[in-house]
Amino acid sequence: MSSNSVAGLPLSSIPIFQTVASYREWRRRAYDEKKSVGFVATMGALHDGHASLVRRSLAENDLTVVSIFVNPAQFAPHEDLATYPRTLPHDLDVLSSLSHSVPGSSITRSPSALFLPTVNEMYPSGITQDKLAQKGTFVEVKGYGHQMEGSRRPDFFRGVATVVTKLFNAIEPSRTYFGQKDIQQALLLRRMVRDLLLSHPTLENLFIVPTKRSVVLSNLLSRAHVFYVCRDAKSSLALSSRNAYLTPSERELAAPTLYAALQAAKTCWESGSSKAEVIANAYNLVERKAQELSSLETRIDMRLDYLEMNDPETFEVVPGEETRSAWELEGHNRPVILSGAMWVGRTRLIDNVVLGDVARLGIIA
Ligand SMILES: Nc1ncnc2c1ncn2[C@@H]1O[C@H](COP(=O)(O)OP(=O)(O)OP(=O)(O)O)[C@@H](O)[C@H]1O
Ligand SMILES: CC(C)(CO)[C@@H](O)C(=O)[O-]
Ligand code: BAL
């Protein structure tokens, strides 16, 4: 493929489209050639989690489009829009390193196009982070945006639903891939696709891909903590663009605590504890670790933002007295989601585990 030389952008072997109009010409040819188009929406600063979505798309579609757009509408005025990592040359390297050999053929697929719109292109009516001053069209999935992440980021899902609707309208994907790390986002977008009767993608063509993690080898928990929270807890950190904000010691000593707390909570739930006990134990684990870290010479500040158990269908909080066996006896034919967010210094990390059969949420490795 010839190199792309768009003014002001790094040279790239992958075609880059900055306008919807130029992308649509490319999309029209894909329609003419009856080629399926897989789509992965990102905010850039690509890592192996993003790569896992792209690999899945390469395996399942003739063509794969990735978007990079840091969406102002999903950041609150006090959040990190200005400092969000923007690493286009690195992102192009990551994308050009990805390929998929189609079994039984000589075809090798690699990402086909990068959609890299400007803010004006995505928000023709303009966009400000001050919600009261915003003008134009916004998409809200009412009743599903105020729990879990929405309890801490009240306008976040309005911003996500709005930009993803625009991206779906522009890209017209045959299939699309979102990460389980942002589980509420993926489930909410499924609901949006259904409610808005979208055809690109259809509901069954929005896929949720398991979270990629890096294993951290530090000895996270002392024995006493492990006993308190029911069992050993594996330490591992979900890959995330925002991990770039962490210092090496925050990354090694503090950040894996969130997943360890989720894993410990999972064990409590599976061994019959009530939801209230499960959550209290998880908070306790984080609190003890936080005390340990705050007494280090190079003090690390760490605290849970929230950790909660929710119904994946209604998103409502699971009642405190609920247990796993009661949940099943009540005839819920679905798992529960245990999700949380944790501050490590100035960095906010999120993660989740599904308690029960993940396949029932359509999450397949
Ligand atoms: N570790 C991961 N494994 C699999 N998918 C992931 C992972 N991290 C992010 N994704 C998915 O990649 C897509 C783009 O996410 P995004 O660009 O916001 O990256 P991010 O790492 O989640 O960034 P942030 O640090 O801002 O949360 C989303 O569908 C998201 O769920
Ligand atoms: C889906 C998304 C690209 C919308 O900006 C973003 O929320 C993300 O990267 O998860
Ligand atoms: N992956 C979530 C993007 C955000 O936090 O804005």
- The answer to whether the CB of 181 is under 6 A from ligand 1 is yes
> To test ligand 2's pocket by mutation, which of 185, 187, 350, 352 has the most ligand atoms within 8 angstroms of CB?
185
Q: How confident is the model at residue 7 (pLDDT cuts 50, 70, 90)?
A: confident
Q: How confident is the model at residue 6 (pLDDT cuts 50, 70, 90)?
A: confident
Measured CA to CA, the distance from residue 319 to residue 298 in angstroms comes to 39
Percent of the chain with pLDDT over 70: 93
Give residue 241 CA to ligand 1 midpoint distance, Å: 7
Active-site residues, by number, are 50
Give nearest CA residue, ligand 3 atom 1.
182
Count of C-beta atoms within a 10 Å radius of residue 287: 14
**Structure pTM?**
0.95
Contacts of 286 by beta carbon, 8 Å cutoff, 6+ apart: 257, 258, 261, 302, 303, 304, 307, 342
Q: Exposure of 204 by Cβ count < 10 A (0-12 exposed, 13-18 middle, 19+ buried)?
A: exposed
Ligand 3 pocket by C-beta < 6 Å: which residues? 43, 74, 182
Question: Per-residue pLDDT tens for 163-214?
Answer: 999 999 999 999 999 999 999 999 999 999 999 999 999 999 999 999 999 9
- Return the CATH class of domain 16-209: alpha beta
Q: What is the torsion angle, in degrees rounded to the nearest 10, for the CA atoms of residue 137, residue 140, residue 146 and residue 148?
A: -100
State the chain's mean pLDDT as an integer. 93
Q: Where are the domains of the chain?
A: 16-209, 213-361
Q: From the CA of 178, give the closest atom in ligand 1.
A: 29
* Residue 55 vs residues 9, 112, 224, 237, 311: alpha-carbon distances, Å: 24, 12, 42, 21, 30
- The answer to whether the CB of 43 is under 6 A from ligand 2 is yes
pLDDT for 2 equals 42
pLDDT for 232 equals 39
Question: Per-residue pLDDT tens for 242-278?
Answer: 999 999 999 999 999 999 999 999 999 999 999 999 9
* Structure tokens given for 157: 């899902």
**Which residue type is seen at 318?**
V
- The answer to whether the CB of 171 is under 6 A from ligand 2 is no
Topology at the third CATH level for domain 213-361: Pantoate--beta-alanine Ligase; Chain: A,domain 2 (3.30.1300)
Residue 217: pLDDT over 60: no
Question: Per-residue pLDDT tens for 315-332?
Answer: 999 999 999 999 999 999
Give residue 49 CA to ligand 3 midpoint distance, Å: 13
The ligand that comes nearest to the alpha carbon of residue 47 is 1
Give residue 295 CA to ligand 3 midpoint distance, Å: 31
Residue 363: pLDDT over 90: yes
Q: How confident is the model at residue 311 (pLDDT cuts 50, 70, 90)?
A: very high
- The answer to whether the CB of 64 is under 6 A from ligand 2 is no
Measured CA to CA, the distance from residue 310 to residue 317 in angstroms comes to 4
Question: Per-residue pLDDT tens for 80-116?
Answer: 999 999 999 999 999 999 999 999 999 999 999 999 9
- Mean pLDDT check: name the lowest of 223-227, 244-248, 275-279, 334-338: 223-227
Measured CA to CA, the distance from residue 279 to residue 267 in angstroms comes to 12
Measuring CA to CA, which residue among 81, 68, 55, 89 is closest to residue 163?
Answer: 68
Give residue 71 CA to ligand 3 midpoint distance, Å: 9
Q: What are phi and psi for residue 347, nearest 5 degrees?
A: -100, 130
Residue 73: pLDDT over 90: yes
Give nearest CA residue, ligand 3 atom 3.
43
> To test ligand 3's pocket by mutation, which of 53, 81, 177, 182 has the most ligand atoms within 8 angstroms of CB?
182
pLDDT for 289 equals 96
Measured CA to CA, the distance from residue 338 to residue 317 in angstroms comes to 10
The ligand that comes nearest to the alpha carbon of residue 71 is 2
Spell out the SS3 assignment of the chain: CCCECCCCCCCECCCEECCHHHHHHHHHHHHHCCCCEEEEEECCCCCHHHHHHHHHHHHHCCEEEEEECCCHHHCCCCCCCCCCCCCHHHHHHHHHCCCEECCCCCCEECCCEEECCCHHHHCCCCCCCCHHHCCCCCCCCCCCCCCCHHHHCCCHHHHHHHHHHHHHHHHCCCEEEEEHHHHHHHHHHHHHHHHCCCCCCCHHHEEEECCCEEECCCCCCCHHHHHHCCCCCCCEEECCHHHHHCCHHHHHHHCCHHHHHHHHHHHHHHCCCCHHHHHHHHHHHHHHHHHHHHCCCCCCCEEEEEEEEECCCCCCECCCCCCHHHHHHCCCCCCEEEEEEEEECCEEEEEEEEECCHHHHCECC
Give residue 271 CA to ligand 1 midpoint distance, Å: 31
Q: How confident is the model at residue 4 (pLDDT cuts 50, 70, 90)?
A: low
pLDDT for 215 equals 73
pLDDT for 220 equals 45
**Contact predicate 100/59, CB 8 Å:** yes
- The answer to whether the CB of 122 is under 6 A from ligand 2 is no
**Contact predicate 259/304, CB 8 Å:** no
pLDDT for 5 equals 67
